[in-house]
Amino acid sequence: MQFIIRRPWQLSQRDHTPEAVYLRQKLHRRQFLASLGVSAAGIGALLLQGCDKGTDDEVLKAGNYEPIPTAPAADANGEPGHEPIVGDSVAPQGMYPARRNDKFEYGRAETVEAQAARYTNFYEFDSSKMSWRYVTKFQPSPWTVEVDGLCAKPRTFDLDDLHKLMPLEERAYRHRCVETWAMCVPWTGFRLSELLKLVEPQPAAKFVAFETFDRPSQAPHRGASPPPSYPWPYTEGLTIAEATNELTLLATGMYGHTLLKQHGAPVRLVVPWKYGFKSIKSIVRITLADKPPATFWNTLMPDEYDFEANVNPHVSHPRWSQRVEKMLGSGEKHPTVIYNGYGSYVADLYPKA
């Protein structure tokens, strides 16, 4: 885990998604095809036929994976655990969908699953939003999450542990990307605070740092852009008050089943009052710290992406306004709301705002 604040440097335009890409999806498909070496005439023909997009079925299948049950640990007498069998493990099929927590409502239409799944931000795989095309080699199972740092009982959890120990629930949340697109999706997961309780944070722990997997061979964009173009692995951070807020989830599922790879399988953070880049995907480590950790986008472009990153229509991004957001799929526009509409849960965390 990297705690030293790195010297910031500006990304060249070709290394991050240009504004035009997410404001005009046609252009983004054009650029994607160009990157594959398709000629200008060929691109025109493909766009006319619409066959660069992939069917809904292709998009959903691409990110699906079979969770591998973990062998049970040796019992108290040192006897080895019995052979894992699917029905015996905490099979996600049996756990999903979890009971919906009725406290949370979108206040607008739910995003169609395939529309969310075909337009994702996952820079380890690609910067075109079409990460579903590049997730084939990514193996989200088996998987462990290490929880360490300033706590009395550091511990490594595998996915079965999380399913067994954590009370799963479903929540209907709004999500707002800093790039102005938004979605409404049902996450299945558990409160981060429940997991942190198990490791017993020390009083000195004021921040929580998160780290994504570090496997260039499973993530094509990682291989294509070795350091120093990006400060891999992707990292994020919250204050301890934010991390233990009622809203903050670790999600292992979405739309009633395990997370698709492109959404951050097998476990990701969900912080719905902050811009989407805070909601780090495919987490392998959670560290309790006394200082704010260095984070991916803040390290790259501190003038554009601050550590706090609360959704706020009154503070423009240096390159665009944040007043309006556009829903994935429907293209419906809504005025952006401070804290993404979750102010009753979080406004008192920010007395000066």
177 binds Mo ion (CB under 5 A): yes
CB 279 within 8 A of CB 285: no
Nearer to ligand MTE, 149 or 233 (CB): 233
124 binds ligand MTE (CB under 6 A): yes
285 binds ligand MTE (CB under 6 A): no
Supply 252's token pair. Answer: 């292992």
* Per-residue exposure over 50-76, b if at least 16 CB sit within 10 Å of its own CB, e if not: eebebeeeebbebbebebebbeeeeee
Nearest partner of 241 among 347, 341, 103, 313, judged by Cα: 347
Supply 350's token pair. Answer: 């920010």
What is the rounded (10 degree) CA torsion for 91, 134, 231, 32?
Answer: -150
Nearer to ligand MTE, 173 or 190 (CB): 173
Nearer to ligand MTE, 151 or 296 (CB): 296
122 binds ligand MTE (CB under 6 A): yes
Q: Of 47-55, 119-127, 314-322, 329-337, which part binds ligand MTE (CB under 6 A)?
A: 119-127
Site for Mo ion in 265-284 (CB under 5 A): 276-277
Q: Of 55-63, 130-138, 177-185, 206-214, which part binds Mo ion (CB under 5 A)?
A: 177-185
Supply 280's token pair. Answer: 């780090």
279 binds ligand MTE (CB under 6 A): yes
The H-or-E segment that residue 251 falls in is strand 249-254
Nearest partner of 285 among 168, 166, 143, judged by Cα: 143
Task: State the minimum distance, in angstroms, from the CB of residue 116 to ligand MTE.
Answer: 6
Q: Of 56-64, 92-100, 116-124, 188-196, which part binds ligand MTE (CB under 6 A)?
A: 116-124
Query: Would you call 259 helix, strand, or coil by DSSP?
Result: coil
Q: Of 3-11, 18-26, 116-124, 195-203, which part binds Mo ion (CB under 5 A)?
A: 116-124
Task: State the minimum distance, in angstroms, from the CB of residue 154 to ligand MTE.
Answer: 22
End-to-end CA distance of the chain, in Å? 30
Residue 80's identity, in one-letter code, is P
123 binds ligand MTE (CB under 6 A): yes
CB 253 within 8 A of CB 267: no
CB 247 within 8 A of CB 187: no
Residues touching ligand MTE, count (CB under 6 A): 17
- 17-36 footprint of ligand MTE as x/- string (CB under 6 A): --------------------
138 binds Mo ion (CB under 5 A): no
295 binds ligand MTE (CB under 6 A): no
Nearer to ligand MTE, 248 or 279 (CB): 279
According to DSSP, the residues that pair with 287 across neighbouring strands are 148, 209
Kindly report whether the peptide bond that precedes residue 228 is cis, defined as omega within 30 degrees of 0: yes
Q: Which residues bind ligand MTE (CB under 6 A)?
A: 116, 120-124, 177, 212, 234, 263-264, 276-277, 279-282
Q: Which residues bind Mo ion (CB under 5 A)?
A: 121, 177, 276-277
